[in-house]
Structure 1
């Protein structure tokens, strides 16, 4: 899975409600009142990592092992405890080819760790009274208007806690080598005057990892202070913290010291900048040396040396859990997040990961233990998650489990409220279906099938201990769920239920295509041709199918990936013409082109069904047809014979009902390898 998944990289994803969303009410935001989650109510105090020699004896072999495992060439690592830097060093190479080592002064793009700095800037202006967390943000957008379909005003608090409810939370994710030159990027006011998102879910109701919300929060700071955001950060955060090698621009001196980015194969790749100027959601370049000062300030409640960078009240709000999956499972604070909370071992931990192509970072704060860790490294792997878990187990081990988790029985009548089709609110490509089988709730997605056991109503657990928390909307109906498994991508956002729409008048209730058509209709991918008629036997043009395919593909919310998909969808197909009726072999090739970019569950070669075509396809289409058929991506009227042969009718025109089945199977919740029929 390429760029979008790689950008998710680690937490990178970098990450991360409902009626129980906030530990602070909107009325008490300014007072900074909050409460701990039940999982951290009785934190066990430890001495923490305070011995340089001991830390290095533990960390050195750990990084050696993990860097080899994840093909990482170079990494920085810094540990802060009780106001002091205990360890700050580098491992491996900033540039493998030139044998330049990583040091505490090596520059990395810290990606979404920038969001914590943007939240800090907002809280500085809250301290000064120029911004308010509970006011409609429209007043801070310099006259620009954000469409809002919900009737509930969007606030800075919603934006900083990843609950803005916007339709395209990654609208600002435009990257490329051409943006290293800041003059090529677009100023925020110009960008948002043309590309303002729409609020489509009630603010504060749904957790969705949100890049555009933090970009707009930075835009609010820019407007409130009448200062370009990058200049504000330089004057009010970087300089007071003595962060001499930190910037929101690729200055010549920082580029000279920057670690070379490496791709998945281990080869160097070009560094990428952001198309949005200043980039409040992810544009900072920094070093371990500078981040150590930032962490000291965080652990000292907003103070650094003799300066108050932000008030203690505001800093406490940034560390307090504000958004929850369940009362025992925190998800986000103001600026920070808490994914994979089981790794926290009962400690109050807030983290923030960051990702740019070829660079990853992770900042870990354990405020009650006066401890913080930070690392940056130069590839797109998930190494930081493994190191985070290992560090916590070593320095803050979990208490012994006093007993096994107990489960409640789930009756079929009660299970009904959980069933149906859900779509991730960040990644439209992630779709999940819940059914009831043999007394259990069953969750099926492109990542596989899980049987869930109920801990209590709304909270379930899979076979590996990862939690599935259902959430209610303001009407008290189950409308969302959140899955915290690190093996899935669902942890980056809540998923929203999509209820079936009224059936089409011309689709038979018990027809073989009915479920595919209904699912695509519910997801707003493929609807009526006219009135309430689907026209299942009508043919599609190449242009109509391409547009529908891009919606089913589900990455249209990411500008970089949408561009890549549009460029690759026609690869290898001669004579593309939007007005030409599409054949089945052209449709199969288009689908396979996109599946090769992002395949959530690629079929293993040893499990692939060997398919032999019995009818003639053009040479350029044969492999695509075989690839789809081997994964069971076939319309109901086409099947593989016992000997592996298939009649695909490659040069027949594609019917709308056939398109619905191919798209639903290729990119839907049930896109799993099917057994040979």
Structure 2
């Protein structure tokens, strides 16, 4: 007779993990009601697109709110959203494809990636391509980040020159995890030069087309030329939350650390490929996907409900509701994107929003409901409904807090040592372009730098002003005064010089 022990173990396993075929479909109807009711209660009709994938197919979609408030344009399955840093899994995948094809090596040092460049500020022989993709490079390069993501003032030559001027991070040494856009920016400059095509075109051919992502692009101009419906950016933190934010993306600010537009159905296809790599049709792509999931560096962090214990290649890793979860989110002025997958449940979630302050919290609760429902957690619906019910009050509190902060900022006195007109003029940086500052007859000081513009407010230090070049994110600009004349202005660690007798008063 055969021993009973193996049979008993098999029965226990089957009872603990019943076959999915025996389970009734998950009811996502309550989630749709929670999202719609909460959106109405908040009174801010921005949009949200949700897609849930499970066992190789999309099992739920929901589209609420407006892509364009003024025109009352609803969000639909064909609405494109900017996904910001959720671009990183795609860029990492493109590099891994090159590795799969024998055209790159993750152990390749930065100096080998750029053999003609001289790096004075970093040990380019020690920092590797892998370091760039997993945020352990220890490199700091804010000018490169500003040029590629915000000002848009760059070309291949200035980008290479900016890469060469990389320095070491003041906080984190090489080998220590520090999340930043710098590594992906540097990797994309290498991709462009090494493979003689923009990284955007490489993604189009190697990832978007094989995965049938027909309404996804890393070019804004392509989306516009094809007439895709684009969600506009909004924020509850704005003076007028119903008005779109001024800062919108263009081709020259779509960068490899955050430079894609896509729809929920297209991103659902991407997640399905992550969960079931297409080994039959695209073996290199499948191999790259599988490799991208392996944790490369350990860390200890948390974002809302999401524990982060590691970073793979383009993905955070950690446990969520007792299961391994890979995820990457994207945040930019007026947008929030959520991509996550739970491999052992063959499940994933896409959430896209065109609002940046409250949406991350709402998306957090959408994930709570979706994964709780897929895991058949007892009491999931009631627990999540209670959290949703608190959101309108949180929105009111946040708006009140923002109003107080803005009033305090506007009330700050100015501490300029010269008349305001003396600060007007054109300031130049050979690698970062020109910045124009003009003062109107009422004394308002306006700053223009590439795609960016702002009106300055006072700051409690001599010859410094506060600017909000990126909506809802303040920076300090410090003027250098020498012998009664303004000779330069500094933003972060970027210095723009003012030629003598260069003024601009309006």
TM-score normalized with structure 1 length: 0.49
Q: How far apart are the structure 1 equivalents of 2:244 and 2:139?
A: 35
Q: How far apart are the structure 1 equivalents of 2:360 and 2:19?
A: 23
Call closer, same or farther: CA 1:96–1:295 in 2, change over 3 Å: same
- Is 2:285 the counterpart of 1:315? no
Query: Contact (CA 8 Å) 1:171, 1:211: kept in 2 or not?
Result: no
Which structure is higher in strand share? Answer: 2
Query: SS at 1:310's partner residue?
Result: helix
Uncovered stretches (5+) of structure 2, i.e. residues with no partner = 1-15, 302-306, 379-414, 419-431, 446-457, 475-506
- Is 2:310 the counterpart of 1:336? no
Call closer, same or farther: CA 1:171–1:151 in 2, change over 3 Å: closer
Q: How far apart are the structure 1 equivalents of 2:327 and 2:182?
A: 20
Query: Contact (CA 8 Å) 1:175, 1:274: kept in 2 or not?
Result: no
- Structural mapping, 1:19-30, within 5 Å: none
Q: How far apart are the structure 1 equivalents of 2:338 and 2:273?
A: 17
Report the equivalent of 1:444. Answer: none
- 1:107-140 per-residue CA deviation (whole Å, 9 max, x = no partner) reads 1111111111100000000101111111212222
- 1:41-69 per-residue CA deviation (whole Å, 9 max, x = no partner) reads xxx97989997761233244235425754
- Is 2:201 the counterpart of 1:225? no
Call closer, same or farther: CA 1:200–1:306 in 2, change over 3 Å: same
- Is 2:70 the counterpart of 1:97? yes
Q: How far apart are the structure 1 equivalents of 2:98 and 2:294?
A: 19
1:135 to 108, 113, 124: 108
1:292 to 258, 262, 268: 268
Call closer, same or farther: CA 1:199–1:103 in 2, change over 3 Å: same
- 1:314-341 per-residue CA deviation (whole Å, 9 max, x = no partner) reads 3233222222235995142111124xx5
- Is 2:52 the counterpart of 1:79? yes
- Is 2:219 the counterpart of 1:249? yes
Report the equivalent of 1:660. Answer: none
Q: How far apart are the structure 1 equivalents of 2:118 and 2:19?
A: 51
Q: How far apart are the structure 2 equivalents of 1:94 and 1:62?
A: 16
- Is 2:168 the counterpart of 1:200? yes
Shift of 1:71: 3.5
Q: Tell me the matched-pair count.
A: 380
Call closer, same or farther: CA 1:170–1:378 in 2, change over 3 Å: farther
- Is 2:118 the counterpart of 1:171? no
Query: SS at 2:245's partner residue?
Result: coil
Shift of 1:192: 2.7
Uncovered stretches (5+) of structure 1, i.e. residues with no partner = 1-43, 180-184, 401-539, 544-558, 575-585, 603-677
- 1:147-198 per-residue CA deviation (whole Å, 9 max, x = no partner) reads 444576111111111111112357323479996xxxxx53344323245442
Query: Contact (CA 8 Å) 2:110, 2:124: kept in 1 or not?
Result: no
Query: Contact (CA 8 Å) 1:260, 1:271: kept in 2 or not?
Result: no
Call closer, same or farther: CA 1:47–1:245 in 2, change over 3 Å: farther
Call closer, same or farther: CA 1:275–1:230 in 2, change over 3 Å: closer
- Is 2:255 the counterpart of 1:279? yes
Query: Contact (CA 8 Å) 1:121, 1:233: kept in 2 or not?
Result: yes
Q: How far apart are the structure 2 equivalents of 1:377 and 1:232?
A: 27
Shift of 1:207: 1.7
